[in-house]
Chain A
Amino acid sequence: MNYYLQTLVDGIAQGSIYALMAIGFAMIMGILGLVTFTHGEVIMIGAFAGFYALTFLKTGIFVALVAGFAAAWILGLVIELICYRRWPKGPDETWLITTIGVSTVLKSGAQIVLGTEQQLVPDVYTGFWTLGGVRILHIQVFMLVVLFILSAGLWLFLKKTRTGLELKAVSMDKTAAALLGVDVRRILVIGNAIGCALCGVSGVLLGVYYNSVHAVMGGSAGLKSFASAVLGGLTSIPGAAIGGILLGIFENVGVLFFSSGWRDVIAFLILIAVLLVRPSGLLGRKGAEKV
């Protein structure tokens, strides 16, 4: 029994990282109306920013998280400039291609500049509690707290501020928003940067939790955030959070019944199964718009 509970705890902890990435992804997806391929690389850059803060600057975890947040925010601004702003009039596919290009440049650039070896990330919060035979690491609780604080902050921002309202309006109808005086360009920049910054934080957590960062870690991370967001309903932010946690649990449960090599296979099989039953995802919105 403990064994199963332990799996659940580990799954939720891992899922909290996926949830954070997926929230960022859903945010960007909602505001652009398009998938972005730079996501994994933004996570990787965030992870390295946190890693450098921890190892070379010897800062605490909080500064590392801020470093990941800031690095990814700035990268988000650069991505917007290169991928989106320069090609406003082209067909939708243009943005897909530009993000694929920038993602490749970032990945290869990181391998050249940061090296191709895994880097060891020092431990933070090594302690743990034992509750009825289930081991809960301090870092696991810390990750959940970070997820909770950032989602609550995002929720408040979207609910209470004018920019938050404009973000929601732009994600639903860019033309209508522009005709009501919303500066759509500015909102795209801010929304994209916030989405990237959340991914940056998730990258730092990923590095700290697994004690390693790697220049090509973005590929699988980007895929996981995409999968979590799809599970939750693609552009729904609460959906993305739930989707991320569920994906984390699926993966760990999969390992329980099969070997760890099957981790991703099980996770994605369950994802496919869910989408067969609910194609719009768990909290996805069906097109309810009246014409």
Chain B
Amino acid sequence: MLQVTDLRVDYGNITALRGVSFEVREKEIVTIIGSNGAGKSSTLMAISNIARKSGGSVHFKGQDISSLKPSAIVRAGIGHVPEGRHIFPFLTVQENLMVGVSGNVRSSRATTAANLDRVYELFPILAERRNQNGGTLSGGEQQMLAIGRGLMVDPEMLLFDEPSLGLAPIIVETIFALIQKIRDFGKTILLIEQNANMALAIADRGYVMETGNIILSGSAKELANNPSVASAYLGI
């Protein structure tokens, strides 16, 4: 479904990605794990065309989306829940969610209402706080709001950038259970994580990144059992 070929990103003199290639098939959960600065976020930012690519291409459902505007990529069907959540602090929870409708190509009054209901059903706490400003939510609630916004876009594929970052372990488990649930809605998921344990537990396949390269790939099970992965990323 998503085909990334030889992706390169430079920030000035610093090379963040040195030719990254991978693919995500329909209805899979694929994870990219790796330590800080390995280039995981840059990969997602380059797919969404927020970071400028210095080489390589991204194909989505056979179509070259490498040079589309970020908003057009979203409308083509790739949602992106960014690292650090990026909540609009002075919009209410509901307004935050409604911004996501901009990226929804199939939006109508009825689908918007149905999507909103679905988000509130998944995250009852958001329904409770719908008229509260986004900036007043706790970290975990903000992450739920960020995911909820992604669901309002209702894309075929969702990119998650470190959804566990800075959250209490109990909330991390909730978030990961949700990601599995979202796959059950028929979405394809690309998940970027430092928390390799959790990510490999829910993923079908995974890639390991280091200093701008993919150094390992395989099924989630293989990676979890790989001794070098275990020592470097699983803390075993």
- A residues whose Cβ falls under 8 Å from a Cβ of B: 89, 162, 165-166, 168-169, 172-173, 175-185, 285, 288-291
- Starting from the known contacts A178-B50, A179-B79, 19 additional A-B residue pairs (CB-CB under 8 Å) come to A168-B91, A169-B91, A169-B99, A172-B90, A173-B88, A176-B82, A176-B87, A179-B50, A179-B70, A180-B102, A182-B99, A182-B102, A183-B69, A185-B69, A285-B90, A289-B87, A289-B135, A290-B87, A290-B139
Q: Are B135 and A175 in contact (CB under 8 A)?
A: no
**Complex alpha-carbon distance, A178 and B166, angstroms:** 24
Q: Are A181 and B50 in contact (CB under 8 A)?
A: no
B74 is an interface residue with CB less than 8 A from chain A: yes
Query: How near does chain B come to A93, taking the closest CB pair, in angstroms?
Result: 17
> CB-nearest residue of chain B relative to A183?
B71
B37 is an interface residue with CB less than 8 A from chain A: no
Q: Are B82 and A165 in contact (CB under 8 A)?
A: no
Q: Quick one: which of B133-172 are within 8 Å of A by CB?
A: 135-137, 139, 142, 149-150, 152-153, 166
Q: Assuming the A-B contacts A165-B95, A166-B102, A169-B99, are A179 and B80 also in contact, with contact meaning beta carbons closer than 8 angstroms in the complex? A: yes
Query: How near does chain A come to B236, taking the closest CB pair, in angstroms?
Result: 30
User: Which of the listed residues B84, B87, B88, B150 has the most CB atoms from chain A within 10 Å of its own CB?
Assistant: B88
Q: Are B74 and A180 in contact (CB under 8 A)?
A: yes
B103 is an interface residue with CB less than 8 A from chain A: yes
11 A–B contacts from the bound complex (CB under 8 Å): A162-B101, A169-B88, A178-B48, A180-B99, A180-B153, A181-B100, A182-B103, A183-B102, A288-B90, A290-B142, A291-B166
**Complex alpha-carbon distance, A185 and B50, angstroms:** 13
Q: Are A181 and B90 in contact (CB under 8 A)?
A: no
Complex interface bits, B106-145 against A, C-beta within 8 A gives 1, otherwise 0: 0000000000000000000000000000011101001000
8 Å CB contact of B71 from A165, A184, A285, A291: A184
Q: Assuming the A-B contacts A181-B71, A183-B71, are A291 and B84 also in contact, with contact meaning beta carbons closer than 8 angstroms in the complex? A: yes
**Complex alpha-carbon distance, A162 and B104, angstroms:** 13
Q: Are B88 and A181 in contact (CB under 8 A)?
A: no
B227 is an interface residue with CB less than 8 A from chain A: no
**Complex alpha-carbon distance, A165 and B135, angstroms:** 16
Residues of A within 8 A of B186 (CB): none
Residues of A within 8 A of B85 (CB): 290
Q: Which 9 A-B pairs have the closest CB atoms?
A: A181-B103, A176-B86, A181-B74, A178-B70, A179-B80, A181-B102, A172-B88, A183-B71, A288-B135
Query: How near does chain B come to A280, taking the closest CB pair, in angstroms?
Result: 14
User: Which of the listed residues A162, A175, A181 has the most CB atoms from chain B within 10 Å of its own CB?
Assistant: A181
B75 is an interface residue with CB less than 8 A from chain A: yes
Q: Are A168 and B88 in contact (CB under 8 A)?
A: yes
B218 is an interface residue with CB less than 8 A from chain A: no
8 Å CB contact of A180 from B84, B135, B149: B149
**Complex alpha-carbon distance, A173 and B99, angstroms:** 12
Q: Are A175 and B82 in contact (CB under 8 A)?
A: yes
> CB-nearest residue of chain B relative to A179?
B80
8 Å CB contact of A172 from B70, B75, B91, B100: B91
**Complex alpha-carbon distance, A165 and B98, angstroms:** 8
8 Å CB contact of A181 from B91, B104, B135, B139: B104
8 Å CB contact of B89 from A181, A182, A185, A288: A288
> CB-nearest residue of chain B relative to A181?
B103
Query: How near does chain B come to A22, taking the closest CB pair, in angstroms?
Result: 19
> CB-nearest residue of chain A relative to B89?
A289
Q: Are A179 and B82 in contact (CB under 8 A)?
A: yes
**Complex alpha-carbon distance, A289 and B135, angstroms:** 6
Query: How near does chain B come to A187, taking the closest CB pair, in angstroms?
Result: 10
Residues of A within 8 A of B48 (CB): 178-179
Q: Are A166 and B99 in contact (CB under 8 A)?
A: yes
Q: Are A162 and B102 in contact (CB under 8 A)?
A: yes
User: Which of the listed residues A166, A172, A182, A291 has the most CB atoms from chain B within 10 Å of its own CB?
Assistant: A172
User: Which of the listed residues A162, A180, A184 has the most CB atoms from chain B within 10 Å of its own CB?
Assistant: A180
8 Å CB contact of B50 from A168, A175, A290: A175
Q: Are A180 and B103 in contact (CB under 8 A)?
A: yes
**Complex alpha-carbon distance, A185 and B150, angstroms:** 21
Residues of A within 8 A of B52 (CB): 89
Query: How near does chain A come to B35, taking the closest CB pair, in angstroms?
Result: 20
**Complex alpha-carbon distance, A288 and B135, angstroms:** 6
User: Which of the listed residues A166, A184, A185, A290 has the most CB atoms from chain B within 10 Å of its own CB?
Assistant: A290
8 Å CB contact of B135 from A178, A185, A290: A290
**Complex alpha-carbon distance, A108 and B99, angstroms:** 42
**Complex alpha-carbon distance, A162 and B150, angstroms:** 17
Query: How near does chain A come to B145, taking the closest CB pair, in angstroms?
Result: 11
Query: How near does chain B come to A84, taking the closest CB pair, in angstroms?
Result: 16
Residues of B within 8 A of A289 (CB): 87, 89, 135
> CB-nearest residue of chain A relative to B152?
A180
**Complex alpha-carbon distance, A181 and B74, angstroms:** 5
